[in-house]
Amino acid sequence: MTGTLPLDGMRVVELSSFVATPLGGMTLAQLGADVIRVDQVGGGPDIDRWPLAPSGRSLYWAGLNKGKRSVTVDLRSPEGREVVAGLVAQSGTVLTNAPQRPGLGYEELKAQRADLIHVQLQGTREGGNAVDYTVNAAMGFPSITGPSGHETPVNHALPAWDVACGLYMTVGLLAAERHRLRTGEGQSLRVALQDVALATAGNLGFLAEAQLGEPRARLGNHLFGDFGRDFVTADGRVMVAVLTARHWRDLVEATGLGEVTGALERALDADFRRAGDRYRHREALGGVLASWFAPRTCAQVADGLTGTSVLWSRYRDFAEVAAGLSDEPLMSVLDQPGIGPHLAPGSPVRIGDASSPPAPAPTLGEHTDEVLREVLSLSPERIEALREGGAIGAS
- What amino acid positions are annotated as catalytic residues? 162
Sheet containing 236-241: order of strands:
228-233, 236-241, 311-314
DSSP 327: G
Q: What whole-number distance in Å separates Cα of residue 152 and Cα of residue 154?
A: 7
Q: What whole-number distance in Å separates Cα of residue 157 and Cα of residue 272?
A: 34
Q: What whole-number distance in Å separates Cα of residue 328 and Cα of residue 341?
A: 16
Distance of CA 132 to the CA centre of its chain: 12
Q: What whole-number distance in Å separates Cα of residue 349 and Cα of residue 27?
A: 9
Tell me the residue type at 127.
Answer: G
Strands 331-336 and 340-345 turn out to be antiparallel
Closest CA to 144 of 201, 196, 195, 198: 201
Please state the φ and ψ torsions of residue 5, each to the nearest 5 degrees: -80, 155
Q: What whole-number distance in Å separates Cα of residue 395 and Cα of residue 393?
A: 7
Distance of CA 178 to the CA centre of its chain: 23
Is residue 366 within 8 A of residue 70, CB to CB? The reply is yes
Q: In 10 A of CB 60, how many CB atoms? A: 18
Listed in sequence order, the residues at least 6 apart from 139 whose beta carbon sits closer than 8 Å to its beta carbon are 197, 198, 201
Q: What whole-number distance in Å separates Cα of residue 60 and Cα of residue 380?
A: 33
Is residue 277 within 8 A of residue 267, CB to CB? The reply is no
Could you give the 3-state DSSP secondary structure of residue 262? helix
Q: What whole-number distance in Å separates Cα of residue 281 and Cα of residue 292?
A: 18
